[in-house]
Structures are given as C-alpha cells and as structure tokens.
Amino acid sequence: MSDPVVVAKNLTVAYGATLAIKGISITALSDEITAIVGPNGAGKTTLLETIVGLHPARTGTIEFLGQGIDRTSVFKRRKLGMTLVAQERNIFPGMSVKENLEMGGFLVDRATMLERMAYVYSLFPRLEERERQMANTLSGGERRMLAIGMGIVANVKLLLIDEPSVGLAPRLVTNVLESLKTLREDTSQPVVLSEQNIKVLKIADRFLGMEAGESKFYESLDTISIDRIRELYMGLSSDECSGKEE
C-alpha cells in the first residue's frame, strides 16, 4: 500500500463567522492523484489553501510526511516539499516562459532545475516553442501549462493544483489533465487537485466529494459510484452522464 504524504484530520476553517470547511479529513497517498470534487462554493480551494498554510484551521491537524505542520509557515511548508498551483495569479506576466520556469525551481539545484525544465518541455512542447516569449502574451491554455510547469520544476514531494481545467477549451482540458496522469506515471509524483470537469474521472485514483464545506465521500476509484460523482458533484444531468445529446 502507498504511504501517506499528507494527512488532514477534522479541519474546520472559518471566514469570520462563516464556516468554509466543516470537519474535513483527507489523506493523500504517494503515487496517487487525489481529486477534490464538488460544485462552486464547496470549499475545495479553501481546503487546498489550508493545507499549504494560507488559512489557519480553527480545528483539526495536518501532517506532511509524518510531521505535524499546523504551526508551520507557508514558506517552511514549501521548503518541506509542497507547493500550490493557484487558479489565478500563478505566473509572472512580465517574465519569459523560461524565466518563469526558473522561478519555479528557485529552491532546487541548477542541474535538477534544468532536468525538470526539460521534462516540462516534453509534457508541453508548446512551452518550449515559446521559451523566450513573455508570459503575458500567452493564451489562457498556455498560461495554465506554464503554471503547472513551474510546479513541476519545483521538484516537490506534493503538488497541489486548484482547478487546472477552468476556462479551457475541451481539447486543452484533455491535454492538461492527461499531462498530470503522465507526470504521475513517469515520476510517481503525488498530486492533489480540485476539479469540476468530468474528465478528472479518467486520471484520478481517489476522490473527496465536497458540498457546502462538508465531506460527502472519500473513496478510491475502485469503490466510488461514478454516477454519484457525475450527478451530484460535477453538475451533470442523467442524460449527460449517459452521453445522450438533445
């Protein structure tokens, strides 16, 4: 059985008097992709940001590689080996593609950084073609690839990604999500991502279903009902789930 990378237990997070997360527990295992699924406002982003230290938990504990990190700063958690690819403001627009990737690897040695950059270019050839191009001139899909690429160059022990497919055309959604599956297969990189797109079912090993800040299920792909995920947490009707068209 895979070893746990991060273990969060009974997390409660509040914005003022409003509870955004209500007693959530999640364990992300090595060699796996864990998908946090649910509608907008479910608390998916807050959960990821709490794990990396951007929000303090009112209750609960977080362990990373067996070490308690509840009182650990964002920067120290990054040095321990976790990073979050945010949904927005996740690149340096005034820098080139190459410079952005180098920024992603600011805590690793140069040899490792160059090796990881080469791997990113193999996953996303379009980035290599635009290596010297300013990031603010890239398309939305290219920016998303670059942000994920920066996370890969960071060479972390846990990569967290917030809504990697949001706003992308269907073809690019497939490309981006399949690249994460390839990353896991090639490097055994554990990934935790939040996602609403139904295509996440093709790449994830484990699913945490959230709704209104609460956990509705936490199960592996082998045991979870796919229809349950589709109908309740992906916003699809029964006809869409079965592939029917009007």
CATH code for the domain of 225 = 3.40.50.300
Joined together, the tokens standing for residue 139 give 């398309």
Q: Is residue 170 part of a domain?
A: no
Task: Work out the average pLDDT over 71-82.
Answer: 96
pLDDT value of position 1? 58
Q: Is residue 176 part of a domain?
A: no
**pLDDT bucket at 98, cuts 50 / 70 / 90:** very high
pLDDT value of position 38? 86
Cβ–Cβ < 8 Å for 1, 27: no
Q: Is residue 118 part of a domain?
A: no
Q: Is residue 221 part of a domain?
A: yes
Query: Number of helices (H) and strands (E), helices first, in the chain?
Result: 9, 10
Question: Beta strand pairing status for 206-211 and 214-220?
Answer: antiparallel
Q: Is residue 198 part of a domain?
A: yes
User: Which range has the worst mean pLDDT, 68-72, 124-128, 233-237?
Assistant: 233-237
pLDDT value of position 242? 39
Q: Is the pTM of this model over 0.85?
A: yes
Exposed / middle / buried, residue 52 (Cβ in 10 Å: 0-12, 13-18, 19+): buried
Maximum Cα interatomic distance, the chain, rounded to a whole number of Å: 55
**pLDDT bucket at 120, cuts 50 / 70 / 90:** very high
Q: Is residue 3 part of a domain?
A: yes
Exposed / middle / buried, residue 223 (Cβ in 10 Å: 0-12, 13-18, 19+): exposed
> CB within 8 A of 160, min separation 6: which ones?
48, 51, 52, 82, 83, 84, 85, 191, 192, 193
User: How far, in Å, are 114, 196, 215 from residue 44 at the CA level?
Assistant: 33, 10, 10
Q: Is residue 86 part of a domain?
A: no
Percent of the chain with pLDDT over 90: 74
Stated length of the chain = 246
Half-sphere CA count of 159, side-chain side, radius 13 A: 27
* The total number of structural domains that make up the chain: 1
Q: Is residue 213 part of a domain?
A: yes
Cβ–Cβ < 8 Å for 58, 134: no
- Residues 159-187 pLDDT 10s: 999 999 888 888 899 999 999 999 999 99
Q: Write out the residue range of the structural domain in which residue 213 sits.
A: 1-81+190-246
pLDDT value of position 244? 35
> CB within 8 A of 110, min separation 6: which ones?
none
pLDDT value of position 44? 95
